[in-house]
Amino acid sequence: MNSYSRFSNLISRSLKWLRLFFFLGVFIFLPGSCSLLQETDIFIPVDSGQIPAGLTITGPLLKGIEVHVRGSKSTIRTLSDLKIRYVLDLSGVKVGTNSIPIKKDRITLPEGVSIVRINPTFLIVRIANKIKKKLPVIITFSGKPAAGFIVAGATAKPLSIILQGPENILGPMDKVLTKPIDIKGLAESFKKEVVLNLAADLEIISPSEIILAEVSIQENIVTKKFNNIQVEGKNSPFMYSIMPPTINIEVKGPVNIIEKLHKDKGIEVYVDLKGLKHGVYVRRATITLPVKTTLIGVKPELFTVKISTENKS
């Protein structure tokens, strides 16, 4: 064998060894590369997409989906900063219950990150017709006013508002309530801004979410009858008799005063006999009542007074 043949064989063997070392190096390196990949779960919030005109979502919508992804550690660490969101495709929805599939191609991820699985794979979305409706505003309360006081009236400004929302929710409504106003222990009227107590699916079209409540708190006015009150005589030095001896009256006033009046027997009824001599007289009784009270009825109205010639002494 000449020198050229031996040299060629040597080169050929050397190339074979180089190829072997190259492939061994690749196989040794690849496991190390695979070890740099990472899998994790990320939560992606769901946004409702464009809904066909005249329709609206009714009921709660799932807040997000879980996506299991694979990628390099360095890329996976950046996912939380990307604020990824999934927008539902609602272009083909109809009134009723719709099953909307979750599509991988609507999830935008960085290059090198792949989706392994998605949970759930579809979302249930309930769709209803969207309507508008004008409703009166009703003021609501919590607690009770001070003893003897009542809510005499409550007015909302504006008196009514226009709402928009799903027909199945807004349709049956005949009024809209405010959040309760705490009136515990109050004894005077006031004005206060309040918000409406609305379902999440409803929105205010006009005029405003803020309602001005004008609340009138007044003393509780009641009417009570007092029977068999003794009728007295005053300003006479003579012996006398009054027939009938008692009177029945009806009084109107604040409940705190009326109840005290009844308890303390604070009603005075008398006939003024000043200047009357011996004889028989027909007179009306004088009835004294506290301030803020009004005499509604009296029975009897007239009394027969007999004055003798005998002195009281």
**DSSP codes, 131-173:** EEEEEEEE--EES--STTEEEEEEEEESSEEEEEEEHHHHTT-
Residue where a domain stops, chosen among 89, 112, 129: 129
Binning pLDDT at 50, 70 and 90, where does residue 201 land? confident
Q: Tell me which of 197-201, 216-220, 249-253, 281-285 is least confident.
A: 197-201
Indicate whether 119 and 143 sit together in one domain.
no
Phi, psi of 193 (to 5 degrees): -85, 130
In eight-state DSSP terms, residue 285 is P
Would you say residue 30 has pLDDT above 70? Answer: no
The pLDDT of residue 62 is 86
Residue where a domain stops, chosen among 102, 129, 156: 129
pLDDT in tens, 36-80: 789 999 999 999 888 899 999 998 888 999 999 999 988 988 888
By the 10 Å C-beta count (0-12 exposed, 13-18 middle, 19+ buried), 275 is classed as exposed
Indicate whether 258 and 275 sit together in one domain.
yes
Indicate whether 42 and 111 sit together in one domain.
yes
Q: From the CB of residue 166, how many other CB atoms can be counted at a distance below 10 Å?
A: 22
Indicate whether 190 and 110 sit together in one domain.
no
Q: What pTM value is reported for the model?
A: 0.64
Q: Which domain holds residue 159?
A: 132-219
Answer yes or no: are the C-beta atoms of 152 and 218 closer than 8 Å: yes
Beta bridge partners of 206: 162
E strand or H helix that includes residue 50? none
Q: How far apart are CA 109 and CA 115, in angstroms?
A: 9
Q: How far apart are CA 309 and CA 141, in angstroms?
A: 67
Query: What is the gyration radius of the CA atoms in the chain, in angstroms?
Result: 46
pLDDT in tens, 133-171: 999 999 999 999 999 999 999 999 999 999 999 999 999
Residue 83's CATH number: 2.170.120.30
In eight-state DSSP terms, residue 184 is T
Residue 166's CATH number: 2.170.120.40
Indicate whether 268 and 229 sit together in one domain.
yes
Residue where a domain stops, chosen among 185, 219, 253: 219
Q: How many domains does the chain have?
A: 4
pLDDT in tens, 79-108: 888 889 999 999 889 999 999 999 999 999
Indicate whether 82 and 47 sit together in one domain.
yes
pLDDT, mean over the chain: 87
Q: Which of 141, 173, 159 is nearest to 211 (CA)?
A: 159
The pLDDT of residue 312 is 76
E strand or H helix that includes residue 188? none
